[in-house]
């Protein structure tokens, strides 16, 4: 039972996600041959993290009781013998972090211990404030990894000029994510994650520090949103969304409000361009070797009722927000 309640000192909501992003970048951007096999292994291992996409480990009564007694009984640390006693103040902070992000108590302890370890890199910040940065940095790493994997897909608009084996690997992996409802999950997250709302929660629990810390947290949240939106944009560019997903995208855009100057923000502009790319057929005129194969995967031409359904949806929808 102790093994089941062992603390990951690298923080399961940060360290592993940092490793994923590092590996994705090494294999797809830096073209390091030795990273390809590692990417294959890490995608297999962390596929559930991409499928659940930002879903946190839930609170747990057993974990709560374990952490509550950790000042006298200690907790097990993965890779270390024995147990470690936790100070009462850290336990108190862990419950605050757990409530703040609605995460399991062990995960909250992990973030605080990792924050403590990373404090030298963040002069003037408490471990709690660093833990807030690590939490959102972990989300950023997953979002950026997802976007880059989708950008590397086989498709009709661009190529990263990677090896056929690597392109097949990332295309197959991201296809499986889409089959598991990726579009719905991304759009739901974009509706839920809001910088102002997140700041209100953090402010209530004194989870925001100096102006610099506030900007760093804000930038991380904004990057998460932007990378999620760019993931759908990249997908639509390479292989247009199927009918049902296109309808989801239209429904999301109906509820979007414009900026004070009448423009769309960068996130929603990405989504609008993704929708327009779903209707793009310009590649048909190009003389590429893979054109015929791509035509067979174009929902606009292959899905029965696609055109009539989308047309009816646009005609029947309520006026879009201004």
The backbone torsions φ and ψ at residue 16, rounded to the nearest 5 degrees and listed phi first, read: -60, -35
For 38, the enclosing helix (H) or strand (E) is helix 34-45
Helix %, strand %, coil % of the chain (to 5): 65, 0, 30
Domain end marker among 174, 206, 239: 239
One domain, residues 225 and 77: yes
One domain, residues 319 and 195: no
Give me 151's structure tokens. Answer: 């950008």
Res 133 pLDDT > 90: yes
One domain, residues 169 and 266: no
The domain in which residue 214 lies consists of 3-239
pLDDT at 304: 80
Tell me the mean pLDDT in the region 203-218: 97
Alpha carbon 8 to chain centroid distance? 21
Q: Which residue is it, tokens 């970048």? A: 25
One domain, residues 266 and 142: no
pTM: 0.93
pLDDT at 322: 57
pLDDT at 320: 67
One domain, residues 113 and 146: yes
One domain, residues 167 and 234: yes
One domain, residues 234 and 253: no
Are 193 and 221 in contact by the 8 Å Cβ rule? The answer is yes
Q: Which letter does DSSP use for residue 263 in this model?
A: P
Res 289 pLDDT > 80: no
Q: Taking the CA of residue 269 as centre, how many other CA atoms within 13 Å lie in the half-sphere pointing to its CB? A: 7
Are 228 and 268 in contact by the 8 Å Cβ rule? The answer is no
Res 84 pLDDT > 80: yes
For 75, the enclosing helix (H) or strand (E) is strand 75-76
Res 182 pLDDT > 70: yes
Residue 198 sits at the vertex; the CA angle it makes with 144 and 111, to the nearest 5 degrees, is 65
Strand partners, 76: 83
Burial of residue 309 (number of CB atoms within 10 Å: 0-12, 13-18, 19+):
middle
Query: 68: closest CA among 94, 97, 101?
Result: 94
pLDDT at 2: 40
One domain, residues 96 and 148: yes
One domain, residues 222 and 257: no
Domain end marker among 206, 239, 272: 239
One domain, residues 257 and 272: yes
Q: Structural domain tally of the chain?
A: 2
Are 116 and 129 in contact by the 8 Å Cβ rule? The answer is no
One domain, residues 126 and 150: yes
Tell me the mean pLDDT in the region 25-32: 97
Domain end marker among 215, 239, 263: 239
pLDDT at 1: 36
Query: 140: closest CA among 40, 12, 226, 38?
Result: 226
- The answer to which of 139-148, 176-185, 260-269 has the lowest mean pLDDT is 260-269
One domain, residues 310 and 205: no
How confident is the model over 136-169, as pLDDT tens digits? 999 999 999 999 999 999 998 999 999 999 999 9
213: left (phi over 0), alpha (psi -120 to 50) or beta: alpha
């Amino acid at each position: 039972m102790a093994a089941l309640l062992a603390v990951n000192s690298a923080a399961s909501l940060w360290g592993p996600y940092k490793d994923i992003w590092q590996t994705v970048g090494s294999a797809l951007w830096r073209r390091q041959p030795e990273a390809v096999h590692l990417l294959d292994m890490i995608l297999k291992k962390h596929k559930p993290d991409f499928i659940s996409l930002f879903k946190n480990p839930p609170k747990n009564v057993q974990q709560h009781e374990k952490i509550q007694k950790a000042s006298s009984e200690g907790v097990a640390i993965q890779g270390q013998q024995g147990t470690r006693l936790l100070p009462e103040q850290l336990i108190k902070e862990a419950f605050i972090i757990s409530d703040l992000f609605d995460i399991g108590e062990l995960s909250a302890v992990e973030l605080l211990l990792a924050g403590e370890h990373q404090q030298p890199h963040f002069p003037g910040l408490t471990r709690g404030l660093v833990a807030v940065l690590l939490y959102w940095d972990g989300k950023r790493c997953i979002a950026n990894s997802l976007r880059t994997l989708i950008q590397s897909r086989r498709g009709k608009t661009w190529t990263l000029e990677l090896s056929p084996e690597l392109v097949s690997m990332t295309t197959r992996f991201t296809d499986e994510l889409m089959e598991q409802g990726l579009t719905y999950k991304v759009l739901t997250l974009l509706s839920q994650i809001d910088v102002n709302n997140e700041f209100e929660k953090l402010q209530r629990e004194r989870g925001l520090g100096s102006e610099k810390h506030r900007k760093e947290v804000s930038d991380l949240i904004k990057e998460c949103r932007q990378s999620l939106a760019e993931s759908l944009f990249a997908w639509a560019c390479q292989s247009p969304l199927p009918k049902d997903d296109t309808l989801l995208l239209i429904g999301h855009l109906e509820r979007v409000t414009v900026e004070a100057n009448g423009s769309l923000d960068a996130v929603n502009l990405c989504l609008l361009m993704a929708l327009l790319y779903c209707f793009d057929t310009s590649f048909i005129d190009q003389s590429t070797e893979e054109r015929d194969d791509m035509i067979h995967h174009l929902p606009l031409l292959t899905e029965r009722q696609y055109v009539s359904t989308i047309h009816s949806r646009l005609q029947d929808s309520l006026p879009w927000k201004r």
